[in-house]
Amino acid sequence: MTSADTSRCQLEVCEDNFTILSERLICYGKLVFGSQNAGESLIRGAKMLRLSSQDDPVLPVSIATTKHHFLVLFPKRLVVVRKIDEARVMTMDLNTLSRRFLRDAETSTLWVWSSSEVFSLSLGDESRDMWRVHLRRASFEAALSDCRDRDQKMIVGLLF
């Protein structure tokens, strides 16, 4: 995973996915290397997600991505957005002025660097309910692939 930061945007690349955080938008999609012809785009399935309106004075300061979520850091809060449906699934107020995410390349631990402290985020078991999300979206194959046990697979099978 690599990250680049400029004064107004942050780029994060993980495997074949990219995420760009600008002042009010997240642009994300897949990177395709080697299967395109000369002059064709390296980007497939790019999407944009608006984080805030022009009237909102609070801008995001950093972003981190996981398999299923965007973690967006604002100066005094953390917002978690599910990628598949762009739903805000969690908002957490922070008691410190946050500056950016840092990811340990060795352990993939995600750290929040603030004006007065550094703390780690525990990102355990983020896939646990994804089968239900896929089910609500009527995506049978994806729901089945995210099932963890026989009971979940039976529920998916009964509904499709």
Considering the entire predicted model, what is its pTM? 0.78
Which amino acid is located at 140 in the chain? Answer: F
Do residues 92 and 145 both lie within one domain?
Answer: no
Do residues 53 and 131 both lie within one domain?
Answer: no
Q: Give yes or no for a contact between 1 and 105, defined as CB atoms under 8 angstroms apart.
A: yes
Do residues 32 and 99 both lie within one domain?
Answer: yes
Do residues 136 and 105 both lie within one domain?
Answer: no
Which amino acid is located at 104 in the chain? Answer: D
Tell me the two tokens of residue 97: 């002025």
The three state secondary structure string of the chain is CEEEECCCCEEEEECCEEEEECCCEEEEEEECCCCCCCCCCCEEEEEEEECCCCCCCCCCCEEEECCCEEEEEECCEEEEEECCCCCEEEEEECCCCEEEEEECCCCCCEEEEECCCEEEECCCCCCCCHHHHHHHCCCHHHHHHHCCCHHHHHHHHHHC
pLDDT at 18: 92
Per-residue model confidence as pLDDT tens for the chain (160 residues):
444 444 578 888 877 889 999 988 999 999 888 777 777 788 888 999 998 767 777 889 999 988 889 999 999 999 999 998 899 999 999 888 888 898 887 887 889 988 888 888 877 777 888 888 898 888 889 898 888 999 988 888 888 7
Do residues 117 and 154 both lie within one domain?
Answer: no
Do residues 34 and 107 both lie within one domain?
Answer: yes
Do residues 64 and 84 both lie within one domain?
Answer: yes
Domain of residue 153 covers 127-160
pLDDT at 102: 87
Do residues 157 and 108 both lie within one domain?
Answer: no
Do residues 15 and 53 both lie within one domain?
Answer: yes
Do residues 77 and 17 both lie within one domain?
Answer: yes
pLDDT at 19: 93
Do residues 80 and 134 both lie within one domain?
Answer: no
User: Domain of 14: which CATH number?
Assistant: 2.130.10.10
Do residues 119 and 131 both lie within one domain?
Answer: no
Q: How many separate domains does the chain show? A: 2
Q: Rounded CA gap, 104 and 70, in Å?
A: 17
